[in-house]
Structure formats: C-alpha cells, structure tokens
Amino acid sequence: MNSLEALGWDADFARAFDSLQAPGLRPARVLVGHAGLCRVAWEEGELLADFAGRLRLREAGAELPVVGDWVAIAPRPAEGRATVHHVLERRSRFSRKVAGDHVEEQVVAANVDTVFLVSGLDGDHNPRRLERFLTLVRESGAEPVVLLNKADLCDAVAQRRAEAEAVALGLPLFVIEAKHGRGLEPLEPWLQPGRTIALLGSSGVGKSTLANRLLGVERQKTRDVRESDDRGRHTTSARELLRLPGGALLIDTPGMRELQLWDADEGLGQTFADVEEHAGACRFRDCAHEQEPGCAVRAAVDSGALPAARLASWARLRKELRSLADRQDAYSRRQAERRWIPIHKSLRKAPKKRG
C-alpha cells in the first residue's frame, strides 16, 4: 500500500485530477517510462500500464507519460495492469531537443521539485557546461542545487568552488564526496518526505554513486573503476523514480552527452541574471550586445564589472536558442503542410457538384 502523499501527491495535483471528472479513473505516479508502456505506483501497489488510444497518436509526443508524471489510470489490479488515460498538468518538466536532426521536444522527467546538478571536481569540471545545465534546470521550473563532487580528487577545491559560484550566482552550492558519503548533511532540507529530486550532470560525475549513498544500498549500477577511462559509455540507462528511506523521491538519470536546449529563453535570462541586469541600460531594447551603440553590457565588460566569459557564454547559448527557434518554425510549417496533403487529395476525390 502506498499513500499518494508519500509519492508526492498534493492539493494542486488533486485539483487537476478532479477537474478531469473521470469516474473510474485513479491517480498514479510514473516510476519508469518506456516506449508505449510505463510502471506506475498507485494507492494499492504497482502496475504495468499501457496508453489509451489518444496517447498513442504520433502527435502525443511531448505529452506521453514520463518518469515523475502524475497520470489518471484505469486499474486492472487482478492482472497487475492498467491503462493510462490522462497525463496531469506538469508542475515542472525537463525538456531537451531530441538527439539528431529532428526538431522535436523530448520531455525526460516531470514534476521534479529540486535538481541536484552534479559536476565532478576531477577533470570533468567546466563552468561553461554548468551554465548550460543551469539554463535547462531554470527553464524546467525546478530549483537547482549545485553539487561539486569528488572533492578527494581535487587539490584546488577553493578555486574550483569560486569559479562555480561565479556562475551559480547565489544558488545553493556544496562540495561533496559521494563515494565516501562526505558533505551530504546540508542536503537534508531538500530531501523531505514527498519531495522529488532529480540528479543531473554529465556521465561519470557520480550521480548513481550519490543515489546509492542516499538510498543506503548499492542499488544503482555505478561505473567500475576499471572502466573509468571509458568516457563514451553511460552506466545508467533508465530514469527511474526511487524511494529514499527518509521519504523523498529520487530520479537518477543517465548523463546526457548531447544536451541540446529546448525553448529556454526564460532559463537563459535567469541563469545570466548578471548579463540581464546590465542589459536593462542598453540603448536598444533588443540589443544583442555586439556592435550596437550605447550597449551597457559591453561597457560593463570593458570596465571589468562583468567577466567577458559570461557575455560570451550568454551569446553562444542565445544563438543556439535562436537557431533552434528558426528550425522549429520551419519544421512546424513542414508538419502543417504535410497534414494538409491528405485533405487536398480527398477534396480532389470528392465528386464534383452538379450545377
């Protein structure tokens, strides 16, 4: 038996569920999602769920149930099965562009309260990558907490920490050693019962190692020391909602190699609040802070008030988002045209009116 509250249920989700007015359906939370199937937890245990017809349509795309989603199911407990009929509105969602050339949104996790953004203090540490991850997290609606892991492998912790703080702009930031369980006490406030935390960061930074520490058992497979040179491989492959002994819910994720942003203008603004602050004083409202006269951001860089690297990162990510938006427009146009074709055909086939 589960209580819905222990799974993260609250008044907002209850309201969303009630507004469906779907007699016979029950609320459940997605523990792990696969193509066309997911495992859910509901008040009476766990079920394997398929999707109702409406959700199987190709257009469903970003609306398909993913780990963390609250869904309305028609349970068939005797069979251990269920069918998902609705995905409740998401409080937060992690989206990225699907890998490759397709210009489509891929939602990878939903209803996450806090993200532990993990970065390795070994060779992996990179403030520019941290900016990219922060932009994604800010856009998602979840609260970011920055964790600098593997302190034992770094002999310049103070310096690395200062570099990360210059990018995190006041966000909670902690130095930890997941492998040895050191420095984890300050994470307590975020690990309250019913709260959902996702671990995010590049492959090999120690997300699953941290998950195991928090779980208190070696449940998640971690990269073997012997394989530690094998940078191309991801040890974790599925995103799964895990229940921690203290009652919090944790999603371990596979390190994302190709982290392409999706619609993250707001996330960018928040991540680069220092750039935005100066931008308010630019002469032109849509100033790109390049060659425009009266640019307060360039002036801030010249005077040393804003690090040049921050402006460069902002410009790089903004360019990426602009180009994505352009391709997205072209893509939706093509999709819209494609939808029209069958209609044209059927019009052609329609018998001519006699007149």
Ligand X SMILES: Nc1nc2c(ncn2[C@@H]2O[C@H](COP(=O)(O)OP(=O)(O)OP(=O)(O)O)[C@@H](O)[C@H]2O)c(=O)[nH]1
Q: Which does 295 bind (CB under 5 to 8 A by kind): ligand X, Zn ion, Mg ion, none?
A: Zn ion
Q: Give every CB contact of residue 302 below 8 A, 6+ residues apart in sequence.
A: none
Instruction: Out of 114, 236, 271, 313, point to the residue binding ligand X (CB under 6 A).
Output: 236
Q: Where are the beta strands (DSSP E) in 123-237?
A: 143-149, 173-175, 196-200
CB-based contacts of 241-247 (< 8 A; 24+ apart in sequence): 241/29, 241/30, 241/31, 241/32, 241/41, 241/67, 241/68, 241/196, 242/211, 242/215, 243/6, 244/191, 244/214, 244/215, 245/215, 245/216, 246/191, 246/192, 246/193, 247/6, 247/192, 247/193, 247/194
Site string for Zn ion, 260-289 (x = CB under 5 A): ----------------------x----x-x
Nearest distance from C-beta of residue 136 to Mg ion, angstroms? 18
Residue 55 token pair: 């959700």
Residues that bind Mg ion (CB under 5 A): 207-208, 235-236
Q: Does 203 bind ligand X (CB under 6 A)?
A: yes
Q: Which does 130 bind (CB under 5 to 8 A by kind): Mg ion, ligand X, Zn ion, none?
A: none
> Identity (one letter) of the amino acid at 253?
T
Q: Does 167 bind ligand X (CB under 6 A)?
A: no
Instruction: Out of 92, 95, 149, 313, point to the residue binding ligand X (CB under 6 A).
Output: 149
Question: Considering just the CA atoms, what is the radius of gyration of the chain in Å?
Answer: 23
Instruction: Out of 27, 33, 65, 255, point to the residue binding ligand X (CB under 6 A).
Output: 255
Of 92 and 209, the one with the shorter C-beta distance to ligand X is: 209
Site string for ligand X, 168-187 (x = CB under 6 A): ---------xxx--------
Q: Give the β-pairing of 249-252 and 196-200.
A: parallel
Q: Which does 287 bind (CB under 5 to 8 A by kind): Zn ion, Mg ion, ligand X, none?
A: Zn ion
Residue 221 token pair: 């497979």
Q: Does 306 bind Zn ion (CB under 5 A)?
A: no
Closest Cα partner for 75 from 131, 22, 28? 28
What secondary structure does DSSP assign to 34-74, as a single string? Answer: ETTEEEEEETTEEEEEEE-HHHHSGGGGGGS--TT-EEEEE
Residue 104 token pair: 């489509």
Q: Does 119 bind ligand X (CB under 6 A)?
A: no
- DSSP count for the chain of H helices, then E strands: 9, 13
Distance, CA of 194 to CA of 253 (rounded, Å): 19
Q: Which does 177 bind (CB under 5 to 8 A by kind): ligand X, Mg ion, Zn ion, none?
A: ligand X
Instruction: Out of 8, 33, 68, 204, point to the residue binding ligand X (CB under 6 A).
Output: 204
Q: Which does 289 bind (CB under 5 to 8 A by kind): Mg ion, Zn ion, ligand X, none?
A: Zn ion
Of 90 and 207, the one with the shorter C-beta distance to Mg ion is: 207
* C-alpha distances out from residue 330 to 160, 265, 314, Å: 42, 19, 24
Q: How many residues lie near Zn ion (CB under 5 A)?
A: 5
Of 140 and 235, the one with the shorter C-beta distance to Mg ion is: 235
Of 181 and 269, the one with the shorter C-beta distance to ligand X is: 181
Q: Which does 267 bind (CB under 5 to 8 A by kind): Zn ion, ligand X, Mg ion, none?
A: none
Nearest distance from C-beta of residue 235 to Mg ion, angstroms? 5
Q: Which does 335 bind (CB under 5 to 8 A by kind): Mg ion, ligand X, Zn ion, none?
A: none
* C-alpha distances out from residue 278 to 84, 147, 152, 288, 311, Å: 48, 28, 38, 12, 11
Which positions lie near ligand X, rule CB under 6 A?
149-150, 152-153, 177-179, 203-209, 222-223, 225, 228, 234-236, 254-255
Residues of the shown chain interacting with Zn ion in the complex, contacts defined by CB under 5 A: 282, 287, 289, 295, 297
